[in-house]
Amino acid sequence: MEPHPHAAARALVFLSLALLAHGKPGDLNRDSFPKGFVFGTASSAYQVEGNALKYGRGPCIWDTFLKFPGATPDNATANVTVDEYHRYMDDVDNMVRVGFDAYRFSISWSRIFPSGIGRINKDGVDYYHRLINYMLANKITPYVVLYHYDLPEVLNNQYNGWLSPRVVSDFGNFADFCFKTYGDRVKNWFTINEPRMMASHGYGDGFFAPGRCTGCRFGGNSATEPYITGHHLLLSHAAAVKIYRDKYQAAQKGKIGILLDFVWYEPYNYTIEDEYAAHRAREFTLGWFLHPITYGHYPETMQKIVGDRLPSFSPEQTALVQGSADYIGINHYTSYYVKHYVNLTHMSYANDWQAKISYDRNGVLIGKQAFSNWLYVVPWGFYKAVMHVKDKFRNPVIVIGENGIDQAGNDTLPHALYDHFRIDYFDQYLHELKRAIDDGARVVGYFAWSLLDNFEWRMGFTSKFGLVYVDRKTFTRYPKDSTRWFRKMIKNEE
């Protein structure tokens, strides 16, 4: 696409503003990062593929969840979304134009196995063959996520999905099929995206599918089910890693990890009480999953507070989970203040933190707010988050799996393309990432969320994170200014 009118003038204005903002305008490029560093963009199957009711795909838990009015502000579903199923070539072509090295996408479990297990859907299998082959033909490296929120609905109906230990072997069989089918070309795997989000929002407050919590219409127990779910997610991840290492890794020569969400939690006041509150917030989020993978058991803080509501690992499970990642994916967007707070009204995962989140300190926001009410621009929190992973978890190899900022969904052409705020966000956050790398963090890749304006879960289409605008009537893709910024940065072009 040709640059839209006045793009050069706007870029010069932005450059001047950036200089005033943080004194390092435009000095980032590929050479700022270690040799071989990967720049990519990301999506997930449910958010971009569409065709949810076609080509042999079985329903997932989100298809059922979204049938209830009000599940999204615009009552949107992902039945069509942005139709990457048919338009993947356009999307890969846009990645090539920008200069991205890689694409992080997920495989829809129910598109491969409509019933979760058993019969294989050839149309679904062939779609991912086409996508992977086209990417490789255009020198875009696939980073494949096996699971991104979309459990086959039939497994939820049969045995309550992630609440049952049966899911571990079923997920393992799905993973095995994917390794066998695509592993000759896919050398970078992630098992599960953001297990904490699924456990806490799917089973703790009912905000995500399958919508379970204490008092929810689908039933649930907010004090126990998040921990049971988290346990089975960890065991499923570890089982898939063992299958890959035992059967495929030596021949296929790939790597495998997990994607964990991590908000940075800063003490509201630098008192002992608030310092411990921030510590608990980190342990109950990132530590919940990365501590067992690193050390073989749940964080002591969680064990002490949750008690017998927290499942324990058998010796065999400890051996399976500990060390079950060649690299760790970290999804980071924002940071919050945290203060000590005890809520004794009811027992739940959220109340177990004994912490209260605040977006401001003494009336001053922690950073500029994005369109989403949870997202604030806090670049220094990114540095602290990455260094925390380095220092607390034995300096693992890290991939930044998601990082980005949104705008309003009703932002239309051509204004929607002028995303200077997004350029400023990426510029500041990548400066902080470089600083962490310079200070010893072993970060080997960075994936911007997201390639396209797509279906954003409970926000529907009212929130746009994309580098590329999508006209949802014609599905025409329009690259935003941020794509040109990335191209200049990655390709060292003026």
- Residue 213 · residue 177 · CB < 8 Å: no
Beta carbons of 91 and 41 less than 8 angstroms apart: no
Mean pLDDT of 184-191: 98
Specify the pLDDT at position 218.
Answer: 93
**% of the chain exceeding 90 in pLDDT:** 93
CATH topology of domain 24-491: TIM Barrel (3.20.20)
CA distance 273 to 30: 42
pLDDT at 492: 80
Query: Mean pLDDT across the chain, nearest whole number?
Result: 94
User: What percentage of the chain's residues is helix, strand, coil (to nearest 5)?
Assistant: 45, 15, 40
CA separation for the pair 124, 137 (Å, rounded): 20
Among 194, 225, 266, 432, the one annotated catalytic: 194
Q: What are phi and psi of 261, to 5 degrees?
A: -80, 145
- For the cut 60, the answer to whether the pLDDT of residue 7 exceeds it is no
Choose the catalytic residue: 49, 402, 432, 456: 402
Q: How far apart are CA 455 and CA 466, in angstroms?
A: 10
Which own/partner pairs from 269-278 qualify as long-range (CB within 8 Å, at least 24 positions apart)?
269/339, 273/339, 273/340, 274/338, 274/339, 274/340, 276/340, 277/338, 277/339, 277/340, 277/341, 277/353, 277/354, 277/355, 277/356, 278/338, 278/355
Q: Is 41 a residue whose pLDDT tops 70?
A: yes
Q: What pLDDT does 128 receive? A: 98
Task: For 414-436, write each residue's pLDDT tens digit.
Answer: 999 999 999 999 999 999 999 99
Q: Residue 223's pLDDT is what?
A: 98
Selection from 147, 76, 155 nearest residue 115 by Cα: 155
Choose between 162 and 11: higher pLDDT: 162
* Least confidently predicted of 224-238, 304-318, 348-362, 480-494: 480-494
DSSP letter at 118 equals S
Q: Is 273 a catalytic residue?
A: no
pLDDT digits (tens, 9 = 90+) for 54-77: 999 999 999 999 999 999 999 999
CA atoms within 13 A on the CB side of 346: 12
- Rounded distance between C-alpha atoms, residue 424 and residue 260, angstroms: 25
To the nearest whole percent, how much of the chain has pLDDT over 70?
Answer: 95
What pLDDT band is residue 26 in, cutting at 50, 70 and 90?
Answer: low
- Shortest CA distance to 378 belongs to which of 367, 390, 369? 367
Rg (CA), the chain: 22
402 given a catalytic annotation: yes
pLDDT of residue 4: 41
pLDDT at residue 131, rounded to an integer: 98
DSSP letters, 383-405, are HHHHHHHHHHTT---EEEEE---
Q: Is the pLDDT of residue 115 over 50?
A: yes
Assess whether pLDDT exceeds 90 at residue 483: yes
Per the model's pLDDT, the better-predicted residue between 380 and 15 turns out to be 380
The answer, yes or no, to whether residue 141 has pLDDT greater than 80, is: yes
- Report the interhelical angle of 481-491 vs 7-22 (nearest 10°): 70
Whether 336 has a pLDDT exceeding 70, the answer reads yes
Q: Is the per-residue pLDDT at 189 higher than 60?
A: yes
User: Is there a contact between 44 and 105 (Cβ–Cβ < 8 Å)?
Assistant: yes
Q: Strand, coil or helix: what is 226?
A: helix
